[in-house]
Structure 1
Amino acid sequence: MDVSSSLSIFSKFIVAGEVFIHFLGDDIHRNFVSHLSSSLLQAGVKPSLIAVEMLSEKFMPSITRFQIGIVVFTKAYIESSRCVEDLLRIIECHENHGLIVMPVFYDIDPSDLLDLKMDSSSYVLYPMKGELKKNSSPEQRSAKRKVKTTVKWTQMKGERLNYPIILYTSAGSRALNRVANLPTWDESKHRNDAELVEEIVKSVLSKLECALPVTKFPVELETQAKNVIGLFENQPKDFCTIGIWGMGGSGKTTLAKAIYNKIPFTFGDKSFIQDIRKVCQTDGRRGLVQLQEQLLSDVLKYVKIEKGEMEKTTIENSLSGRKLFIVLDDVNEIDQLKNLCGNGKWFRAGSVIIITTRQLDLLYQQKVDYVYEMDELDENDSVELFSWHAFRKATPRTELNNLARSAVAYCGGLPLALEVLGSYLSKRSENEWRSVLSKLEIIPNTQIQNILRISFDGLCSEMEKDIFLDVCCFFIGKERDYVTEILNGCGLRADIGIKVLIERGLVKIEKNNKLGMHHLLRDMGREIVRQTSTMQPGKRSRLWFLKDVRHVLTKNTGTEAILGLSLNTDWRL
């Protein structure tokens, strides 16, 4: 396929691709960009060609759909007000949505960008012409000094001014500064265009190959990933295992994906095995064989375990001596670890295994080197994450600010809850917001509860489930020894049972040895009890709500199903 025919493929606006090329559609359209786009297509990647003068207005609102943006800087590009306006949006997407930006300098030195950033006062924009020129005359310099450098582009549009405006506003200067700090490709440092294009294509392929979909709004994710990577990056000669532990919906898998994406392809062989618990529960031994095959396929590129038999020796022999980076996601049984990675002695020094799980005891059994516990987001980060999902910006809308903060308080810093509730409330009226939040006080959100309930359903015995439900309904904020004594007196082995709940992230020990619990877990447990008889409280196993207790006692509607109830001595029957 020749260059002209390959260009015709991209003449239509392609939204569904993974890569776009942003450039000024004149001086290099028929050579370098066409060469680059043809090479990407031959490598199996469909880029969207975005010529600033032709398609950028239609294209810019949709760039969050892409993983990689290649920005081709030329002399004409940096002298175009429209190009710099688009660049501001690209950098914003890079910072807020994780877009990978790849600056390519063609027929221009990267230092020219720094010169513009450092000496922006010597460049001015003529609004009526859209041109960028040196500011030379005293009259122009005088007029320029009257204009603040914080003017936004949206404020410039449509204005008819008789004097030039500075192009590089504070936002523009910051965008240029961000570009200058990114890894760049410089045409002058390559023998020819073919060599430059080959390097760019290889880099794109490596990024697409390892990039896992994470989240559109990575609030606090960068800090968390940096903290975990810091546990192993300075130990290149040691084999390292790290457990990421936390309750359902706390962001364990999201964090593991973000870490995985940051590991360069030069590290060694990589594999991300996702949803291990779900696969094994659905398909049993056959599912575990599929996971083994995926691991070997990721490392060896292709392998088949004959006759569906789990051969741990096949894994060991195939992976022995290799430097690997492996993520085992949502593990809930020690047997899964034994069949996928053994004790890690198979692997070469410098290998890293990350395990995400809700079960702390499992990590102790595996004797991991580090346990990274997922904490709830603080109030500021919670508001930001919720706002991105509800309003598509970092802060709440003014008229909904109080309701938004009530919703955030309900979520208790749990990322899953912030995402689900924020998305559900997006574009709804104020009255609908009030109705939803009022309902949540009585009946929890089903989508959130289904994720949290996985931990409850995973408890090994009915006794452990009974202890959890008792704590949910009666003993939050009570001293651990006091609760243990009462439950032991009821025939429950609370000494070991409470310990199991702590290791599963369902209960935590707070100040003064008192039992605590995330309130969404509390609501989940209470909803399990309520669902046994939604209309007749007297048929439920536990009663804690004042109205229900009063109804049962005054109407004499209790049954043998009731195991316990909470009496408040401050009210009369």
Structure 2
Amino acid sequence: MVPATDTSGREFEVFLSFRGSDTRNNFTSCLYRDMVEKGIRVFKDDEELRVGEKIEKLLKALSDSQIYIPIFSEDFASSAWCLRELTRMVDCTSKSDGKKEILPLFFDVKPEDVKSRTGLYSKALSKLEKEKKYDPDEVHRWRDALREVATRVGWRREGKEYGELIGLIVREVQLKLTGKDRSLPVHFVETDDLEDIVELLDADSHDHVLFVIINGIGGIGKSTLASVIFNRFRSKFSHSSFLEDVQSHDLLDMQKKLLSETLGSTSAQEIYDTNDGIDRIRRGLGDKKVLVVVDNVDEKKQLTNLAGSCDWFGPGSRIIVTVRDKSKIEHEEMQMRPSNYLPHPIKEMPLDRAIQLFNKHAFRSDTPPEDCSDLSAKVVSSIGRLPLTLEVVGSLFAGTGKSEWEKTLKDLIQVPHGDIRKTLMISIDKLDPERKNIFLDIACFCVGEDESYASYMWDDCEYSPQSAIRVLRLMSLIKIDENNKFWMHDELRYLGRYIVKEKNFKDAGKRTWVWIDEQTSRILRSDKEKPAVQALSLGITHDLTPEELAHFPELTFLGGERMNFIGDFKDSLPNLRWLSWRHCPLNLTATNLCPVGLVVLDLSESNITHDWVGWSQIEVPAHLTHVCFKFYHLTFAS
């Protein structure tokens, strides 16, 4: 089977090199077939290709491929052909500017064997050298190539079954072949900041490590600017990673993401705390030229756990940090070596480009219709030049009829200039009650959640989620990312949560949506019934009891990563639709935990299996059609 050439002219993406007598008819054949079935264009080095004009095809495959997988078996070093392929791989990767890589598989050997530190490969090389038909210099190059490749991150069989090992390899290859470019706004307008950052970045340099600190108020375009820079320059670095919105994620998860995106998923295995993660990052990236974006930092510990110091990374590395207030991340080292930390406060968008951005959202064009030429300037002069407000307000104009534009403009003029929240409220106030409730659900609890699961809950509550989500997206109030998860700008999320708190600042128990932290935890202990509360999200460690939950009769959503259930929950939580219980404990002691109305059960990031003891305690209503279980990153729908 010969795959068709892709649009880049590359016929193959992956090159498999192996000793035919060792693995061709078993492991390699299975690996090849699985890759082809997954749509990966893979070249399998069969010996039949080593005659006549077919050698040219093999050499072209070596030159074209992005990923090389040498399968080191016991007899690999006995083949001059395999050794020549390996030497060619090393040569191709060294000249690829980080665009090609070798992922070795130590099949039935150890890295020490490949490095010729044991007798296995060293004897094979000595035998080839004694045969006199190979130049000693060439044998020396083979030995050097083996030693170099043996130090690279790859896989070890070590007793794994073929299916498990093949699954690990194919998933890693798919991850590396997937384009890592960041998605940019559809109506993107470039600003002068881009040129300034490019000059600061000095991406072609191979000397010292630089931290570029992009700071500015929320909504000014820090993350977008970082994404543009990442897309444009990541090819100049051997490894790259974009850590998005770190303030909303667990730091250990962010460390694993950094390692997975730079060194492969195997490098992030068996990391149990952030100190171990720091050590793994320093050891793994200390000699690599990397581009890392640490986006939306709001605490010093986030940066110190992900990119704590210049000596964590190799020469020429660039760390881009986006932050609202750069004083949040300043520490002693910045004062000691200020030349390594270059701040860049984002400038206000020029008037002409602000008008252009508004036009793109309001009229889907760089220029407005002829009879609306004055409208754009009036709106921009009223709301300011912040990209977020230009996008949201522009989308509001696009979603309303021309007859409403003058009224909307009048409302905007009455808002104090620069009052972002009041400006954004004009769009939110245009929503009908159902769509506003869905917007607030997303702002309070659903950012980062799968759109499908939230829709199951809303469907069951007799809302019309698809229509509402479509309107919210058209109004630029929410986005759905490439993983089908909700995304919302920080300013809009903060505003949504403020709207909820504003209904009752003093008594959280009278709000519809409640985030439980140390300040609000007392409402869990209160004996007073709280019928207003429909959603609880626990940000603290807490053991929930039937008595506590009985005081929330209308609870629809319950979530938390450090909560547990203690006691007998028979007839509890009659209205619960969504239970988000990540990192649930293995030793569940609660009994009769079976909410009759449940439609979404999220147990992701829990080390549970099909024979988990909890399955006997959690009874899921069998008659429902939208029950989802998520564990071990698998999804089952019944």
Regarding TM over 0.5, the answer is no
More helix by share: 1
Place the TM-score, normalised by the shorter chain, in its bin.
0.3 to 0.5
